[in-house]
């Protein structure tokens, strides 16, 4: 593939001719395939591979399977993610230590890879807000958060500036900024034709605006994590220098093991870290850490509304669905669906309810009708779902037929609501009426591939 001359000029200027030749050669090769296993759901997954050094749950696969034909993919057993993006796990470990009772905002979160990593890192502790301003991408984000199955995540659809309404709210803000995408040239050759020097300049200006707009929501002493999937200095280290010069932010250096082979990028006393396919078995990523050094007068955030808690008489019906030792809050959303959320963070969620557009919160359990729960799909994916619910574990082909919504019958004498599982991993709900089975898988989660035709190709 032919790379843009302006792109070459930038890389040669930044890294030298030899590094350019190495990068150009690496971009011509097939991209690596890597996945991040779910820390809890991985026990249901049979994938094998070699480890990603900077993330304990990252795996390189020797070849790329058809993930659509693996029910454990649909059940959230793993997430297909670039290895470099998993560096976030290493950074979070360095910055937080053992303290996971923190509030985190993933500002530009869709499709959800880094958010699901943060949720796994927090392991049901703290509060994660995953945000995406573009509506259709926000609902893709919601779907991937549902698959992760954690009860301490809120998905919002807001502009970065909207978070100024919750000043000093977050301990960590991740800005995985929209960029020119140079780091994806190998994986997505079409992006090469979209590259231009004007677009690089436009992205750099937009990235500055995003960082400045969201900064009031970061606590004093909190960390702003800045990343892109590009290589040029204009969108990367130059923005770190700008942020340090114009905003109350101080660049923080990281002690990174040499064998990660990460390229440090230095400019005017500031440091960022570059991943690239000629350095690691991954696509491109730039990462840098900034710490806020300004105290602002935030005061108590005024609220005028609150989620309505479920009456005490209905709670026993809900408790039987969860094995959580945590004392949750059960509340109704505006559509009268019941959600489960950690009690210690319920007040903060109500603040977000007043100031942001929430499209998903905690675990959507379903709808209470005459003291019976009509379960929501997200409940089937919950990590702490009770082991004592009625289940039907299906083999591979039937599991895929369920996910395709073409399964018409199941072998079970149990009537009513049944959890469909594959190797004991929850996939969704059916209601067995005896003479027929109703499939409650949401249409947006449905497999549209011809599974039988493609299975013949995959497994022949």
In tens, the pLDDT along 326-366 reads 889 999 999 999 999 999 999 999 999 999 999 999 999 99
And the tokens for 273? 């870290």
Reduced to 3 states (helix: H, G, I; strand: E, B; else coil), residue 91 is helix
Distances in whole angstroms, Cα of residue 451 to Cα of each of 66, 76, 333, 357, 457: 10, 19, 36, 37, 10
Q: In the predicted model, is pLDDT for residue 46 greater than 60?
A: yes
At 264, list the tokens: 């440090």
Domain 5-292 = CATH 3.40.50.150:
yes
Beta strand 425-432 with 328-332 is unpaired
pLDDT for 458 equals 60
| Confidence (pLDDT) at 434 | 82
> Is the peptide bond prior to 111 cis by the omega test (within 30 degrees of 0)?
yes
Output the six-digit token pair for 61. Answer: 């696969």
Domain extent listing, the chain: 5-292
Cβ-Cβ contacts under 8 Å for 373 (sequence gap 6 or more): 317, 318, 321, 338, 365, 366, 367
Percentage of the chain exceeding pLDDT 70: 98
Q: What does pTM read for this prediction?
A: 0.97
State the catalytic residues. Answer: 229
pLDDT-derived band of residue 114, with 50, 70 and 90 as boundaries? very high
DSSP state of 52: P
Q: Would you state the pLDDT for residue 460?
A: 41
pLDDT digits (tens, 9 = 90+) for 10-40: 999 999 999 999 999 999 999 999 999 999 9
Does the pLDDT at position 459 exceed 60?
no
pLDDT for the residue numbered 300: 83
Radius of gyration of the chain (CA): 23
What mean pLDDT value characterizes the chain?
A: 96
């Amino acid at each position: 593939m032919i790379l843009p001359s302006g792109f070459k000029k930038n890389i040669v200027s930044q890294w030298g001719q030899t590094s350019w030749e190495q990068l150009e050669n690496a971009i011509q090769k097939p991209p690596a395939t890597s996945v991040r296993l779910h820390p809890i759901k991985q026990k249901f997954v049979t994938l094998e591979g070699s480890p990603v050094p900077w993330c304990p749950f990252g795996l390189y696969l020797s070849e790329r399977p058809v993930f659509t034909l693996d029910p454990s993919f649909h059940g959230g057993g793993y997430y297909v993610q670039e290895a470099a993006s998993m560096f976030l796990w290493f950074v979070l470990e360095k910055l937080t230590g053992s303290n996971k009772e923190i509030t985190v905002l993933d500002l530009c979160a869709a499709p959800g890879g880094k958010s699901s990593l943060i949720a796994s890192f927090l392991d049901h502790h703290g509060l994660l807000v995953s945000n995406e301003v573009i509506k259709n991408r926000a609902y893709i984000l919601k779907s991937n958060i549902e698959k992760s199955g954690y009860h301490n995540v809120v998905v919002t659809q807001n502009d970065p500036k909207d978070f100024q309404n919750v000043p000093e709210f977050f301990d960590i803000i991740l800005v995985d900024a929209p960029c020119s995408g140079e780091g994806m040239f190998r994986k997505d050759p079409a992006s090469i034709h979209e590259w231009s020097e004007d677009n690089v300049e436009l992205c750099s200006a937009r990235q500055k605006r995003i960082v400045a707009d969201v900064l009031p929501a970061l606590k004093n002493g909190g960390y702003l994590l800045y990343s892109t999937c590009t290589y040029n200095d204009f969108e990367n280290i130059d923005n770190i220098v700008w942020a340090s010069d114009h905003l109350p932010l101080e660049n923080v250096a990281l002690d990174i093991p040499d064998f990660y082979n990460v390229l440090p990028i230095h400019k005017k006393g500031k440091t960022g870290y570059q991943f690239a396919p000629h350095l690691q078995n991954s696509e491109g990523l730039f990462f840098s850490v900034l710490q806020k050094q300004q105290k602002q007068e935030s005061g108590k955030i005024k609220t005028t509304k609150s989620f309505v808690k479920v009456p005490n008489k209905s709670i026993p019906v809900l408790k039987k669905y969860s094995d959580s030792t945590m004392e949750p809050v059960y509340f109704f959303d505006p559509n009268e669906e019941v959600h489960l959320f950690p009690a210690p963070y319920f007040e903060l969620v109500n603040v977000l309810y007043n100031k942001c557009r929430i499209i998903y919160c905690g675990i959507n359990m379903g709808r209470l009708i005459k003291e019976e729960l009509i379960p929501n799909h997200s409940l089937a994916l919950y990590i702490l779902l009770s082991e004592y619910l009625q289940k039907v574990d299906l083999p591979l082909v039937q599991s895929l037929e369920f996910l395709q919504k073409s399964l018409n019958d199941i072998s079970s004498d149990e009537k009513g609501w049944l959890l469909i599982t594959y190797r004991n991993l929850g996939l969704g709900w059916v209601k067995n009426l005896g003479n027929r089975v109703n499939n409650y898988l949401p249409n947006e989660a449905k497999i549209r591939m011809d599974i039988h035709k493609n299975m013949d190709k995959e497994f022949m």
